[in-house]
Amino acid sequence: MFPATVAGSLPKPSWLAEPDKLWPKWRLEGADLAQGKLDATLLAVKMQEDAGIDIVCDGEMSRQHFVHGFLEFVHGIDFGNKVEMGIRADRYKAMVPVVTSALSLKGRVHQSEAKHMRAHTQRKIKITLPGPMTISDTIADRHYGDKVKMAMAFADLLNKEARALEADGVDIIQFDEPAFNVFMDEVPGWGIEAMHRAIDGLKCTTAVHICYGYGIKANIDWKNSLGSEWTQYEKIFPALAKSKINQISLEAINSRVPLRLLSLLDGKDVLIGVIDVATDAIETPEQVAQVIADVMKFVPKERIVASTNCGMAPMKRQIAEAKVKALGAGAKLAREKFA
Ligand code: ZN
């Protein structure tokens, strides 16, 4: 009961990439970089195991950014002439690559780290992929002429990689869809359909992570503008509850999402954020167990998974490690108290 997992990313070691950055530059090249990514993956796995995390991630050590780490492996995208685009409904400006022809995969995307993890841990392993709606919101289009058509093309590529990851021994494949919290009407409209295309034929557990973003300034300012109760999820939870996705990951601690909304996710496992990634203050196991207790009022306890609010990539490494320890200890305490 109350297994623990992280949302996905962890800070990279400073010998691998620039620390404390969301888009860090690599500090190794060529064969050294390839080996360094795997070495860092192993450290991330060990750190999670030692902290008592039940479902371990690769920490996204092999990708510079959660969206572009996938896009690098896709034919039909021009990375040489990036254009500035307002993303997440103009919450931030980013320099994004451009789709210039029909999309196809260059080969495997996350095979190395998936196999490396599978070879080195007995625990369940999870790999994250960017969701089709979020990808389509993080890239410019000069080929498809239609956002939905382009998203479906990405969904087919994601499906191909997801099926291969399942064959590599990955237990859980999670799609990160922060855009689900931006385009509320489009989620029931076509977002879920794109997700279903991405998970088509998978037998492993599937998850979707939705959130209010990393703890960076643009997100903190946006959250401050949303009022005292964040009820946007009311619009998308019924559609998610009806979907074929097994698990929904979202933030809870220090969030203004009213927990009563979780009852709209009837039938789903809920990965509940018990660790705040927007503050360096380290949670106590008691705080973590309290969030789990609060969530138990709305979600059956056998469906609760303890997680982080979002990825930890831009955090300081020591802070992230202390938070992951608090996560493991808090889930254990909750098991002792409520199981
Ligand atoms: Zn997130």
Give 87's strand partners: 92
pLDDT of residue 58: 97
Distance 67 CA to ligand 1 centre (A): 12
Both tokens assigned to 282: 């380290």
Q: Is residue 8 part of a domain?
A: no
Distance 294 CA to ligand 1 centre (A): 21
Q: Is residue 243 part of a domain?
A: yes
Select from 188, 201, 72, 49 the least CA-distant residue to 122: 49
Q: Is residue 286 part of a domain?
A: yes
Q: Calculate the dihedral angle through the C-alpha atoms of 171, 234, 131, 188, rounding to the nearest 10 degrees.
A: 110
Contact predicate 303/269, CB 8 Å = yes
pLDDT of residue 214: 64
Distance 59 CA to ligand 1 centre (A): 13
Distance 202 CA to ligand 1 centre (A): 23
Q: Is residue 257 part of a domain?
A: yes
Q: Is residue 272 part of a domain?
A: yes
Q: Is 324 exposed, middle or buried (0-12, 13-18, 19+ CB in 10 A)?
A: buried
Contact predicate 56/308, CB 8 Å = no
Distance 213 CA to ligand 1 centre (A): 5
Handedness of CA 103, 107, 113, 114 (dihedral sign): positive
Alpha carbon of residue 335 to chain centroid: 25
pLDDT of residue 57: 98
Distance 312 CA to ligand 1 centre (A): 9
From CA 324, how far away is CA 20, in angstroms rounded? 17
Which residues keep their CB under 5 angstroms from ion ligand 1? 211, 310
Distance 178 CA to ligand 1 centre (A): 6
From CA 140, how far away is CA 118, in angstroms rounded? 35
Distance 255 CA to ligand 1 centre (A): 13
Q: Is residue 51 part of a domain?
A: yes
pLDDT of residue 231: 81
Q: Is residue 9 part of a domain?
A: no
Both tokens assigned to 286: 């008691």
Distance 31 CA to ligand 1 centre (A): 31
Integer distance in angstroms from the first to the last C-alpha of the chain? 7
Distance 249 CA to ligand 1 centre (A): 9
Contacts for 213 with CB less than 8 Å, ≥ 6 apart: 88, 178, 219, 222, 310
Distance 211 CA to ligand 1 centre (A): 5
Strands 172-176 and 205-209: parallel
Distance 277 CA to ligand 1 centre (A): 9
Question: What phi-psi label fits residue 307: left (phi over 0), alpha (psi between -120 and 50 degrees) or beta?
Answer: beta
Q: Is residue 290 part of a domain?
A: yes
Distance 283 CA to ligand 1 centre (A): 18
Handedness of CA 133, 138, 139, 140 (dihedral sign): positive
Distance 257 CA to ligand 1 centre (A): 14
Provide the residue-wise pLDDT of the chain in tens; the chain has 339 residues. Answer: 999 999 999 999 999 999 887 788 999 999 999 999 999 999 999 999 999 999 999 999 999 888 889 999 999 999 999 999 888 777 778 889 999 999 999 999 999 999 999 999 999 999 999 999 999 999 999 999 999 999 999 999 999 999 999 999 999 999 999 999 888 899 999 999 999 999 999 999 999 999 876 667 777 777 777 777 888 888 899 999 999 999 999 999 988 889 999 999 999 999 999 999 989 999 999 999 999 999 999 999 999 999 999 999 989 999 999 999 999 999 999 999 998
Q: How many domains does the chain have?
A: 1
Give 78's strand partners: 98
Contact predicate 10/319, CB 8 Å = no
From CA 111, how far away is CA 86, in angstroms rounded? 32
Distance 304 CA to ligand 1 centre (A): 18
Domain hosting residue 76, numbered range: 30-338
Q: Which strand ranges, in their side-by-side order, compose the sheet holding 140-141? A: 74-87, 92-105, 140-141
Distance 91 CA to ligand 1 centre (A): 15
Distance 73 CA to ligand 1 centre (A): 22
Task: Give the DSSP letter of residue 198.
Answer: H
- Report the CATH number at residue 141: 3.20.20.210
Contact predicate 334/293, CB 8 Å = yes
